[in-house]
């Protein structure tokens, strides 16, 4: 049975602990977001600081060269916004 993933703008979104991967790993690039800070809003714990990296998925590229872009944003919404822009532009080239 095929697994169903949460998607955002048609691309898979997978969370493992405080790390979120956005994009299809079979494509040339994916986004990795790490939640580095949280805050309480009512009964919920929400991301307040998120580190974003655009990663090259080519296995022949060295680990250092895999990181194409990096940034840090306040909140998950701002991080998802820049992640979508970076990934769309990288896959279009």
Q: Distances in Å between the alpha carbon of 15 and those of 38, 42, 64, 65, 92? A: 16, 23, 23, 24, 25
Burial 25-48 (b: 16+ CB within 10 A, else e): eeeebbbbbbbeeeeeeeeeeebe
pLDDT, tens digit, 9 for 90 and up, residues 11-28: 999 999 999 999 999 999
* pLDDT reported for residue 2: 60
End-to-end distance of the chain based on CA atoms, in angstroms? 34
* pLDDT reported for residue 93: 85
Lowest mean pLDDT among 2-6, 50-54, 80-84: 2-6
Query: How many residues comprise the chain?
Result: 93
**What's the mean per-residue pLDDT of the chain?**
93
pLDDT, tens digit, 9 for 90 and up, residues 30-42: 999 999 999 999 9
pTM of the predicted model as reported, rounded to 2 decimal places:
0.89
């Amino acid at each position: 049975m095929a697994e169903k993933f949460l998607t955002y703008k048609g691309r898979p979104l997978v969370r493992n602990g405080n790390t979120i991967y956005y994009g299809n790993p079979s494509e040339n690039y994916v986004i990795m977001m790490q939640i580095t800070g949280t805050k309480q809003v009512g009964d919920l714990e929400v991301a307040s600081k998120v580190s974003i990296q655009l990663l090259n998925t080519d296995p022949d590229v060295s680990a250092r060269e895999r990181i194409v872009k990096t940034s840090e944003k306040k909140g998950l919404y701002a991080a998802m916004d820049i992640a979508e822009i970076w990934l769309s532009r990288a896959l279009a080239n």
